DNA sequence: CATGTGACACTAA
DNA sequence: TTTAGTGCCACAT
């Protein structure tokens, strides 16, 4: 089991309509310091279709410009397509769409 | 083996 | 609040 494999595994567990931060994915993959590795993992994705890479955003909900294609953010389009809303700052509304691995139904 | 780079995160100013 | 610096892990050279 390689680090990348764990990362892909975690990212693949992100439910539709939700997003997770690099740090969060890294922490769930095993180490909270793999944030950069997560980004690299998605950067060198062998098969973009088998992991919802677009559901992974920065801690502030911002999307890295490096993921842009011909000037437009494919992530934004995909996330919007899944029902994710964006703020005026161009960030994902983490308040509503931040993935919470904990299934505390009825808490808070 | 050492150095540089990178879809990040945290801390200090 | 924004910018700059540092740490971290994996990969390329």
Q: Chain B: nucleotides under 7 Å from a protein CB?
A: 6-10
pLDDT in tens, A90-104: 899 999 999 987 655
pLDDT in tens, A48-80: 778 999 999 999 999 998 888 777 789 999 999
For position A19, what pLDDT does the model report?
Answer: 96
Residue nearest to nucleotide B7 (CA to C1'): A39
- CA A85 – CA A17 distance, rounded (Å): 9
What chain A holds in terms of domains, given with CATH numbers, is: 3-97 (1.10.10.10)
Mean pLDDT of chain A: 89
Q: Which residue has the tokens 């279709």?
A: A49
For position A100, what pLDDT does the model report?
Answer: 85
Residues with CB under 7 A from strand B: A 21-23, 26, 35-43, 45, 48, 53, 58-60, 64, 66-67
Q: How many CB atoms lie within 10 A of CB A37?
A: 18
Q: What percent of chain A has pLDDT over 70?
A: 93
Q: Of A92, A60, A59, A94, which Cα lies nearest the Cα of A75?
A: A92
Q: Distance, angstroms, CA A105 to C1' C5?
A: 41
């Amino acid at each position: 089991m390689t680090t990348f494999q764990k990362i892909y595994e975690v990212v693949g567990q992100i439910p539709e309509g939700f997003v997770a931060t690099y740090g969060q994915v890294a922490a769930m993959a095993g180490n909270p310091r793999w944030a950069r590795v997560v980004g690299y993992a998605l950067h060198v994705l062998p098969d973009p279709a088998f992991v919802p890479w677009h559901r992974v955003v920065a801690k502030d909900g911002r999307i890295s410009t490096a993921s842009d294609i011909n000037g437009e953010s494919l992530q934004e389009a995909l996330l919007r397509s899944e029902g994710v809303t964006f703020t005026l700052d161009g960030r994902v509304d983490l308040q509503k769409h931040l993935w919470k691995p904990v299934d505390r139904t009825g808490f808070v």
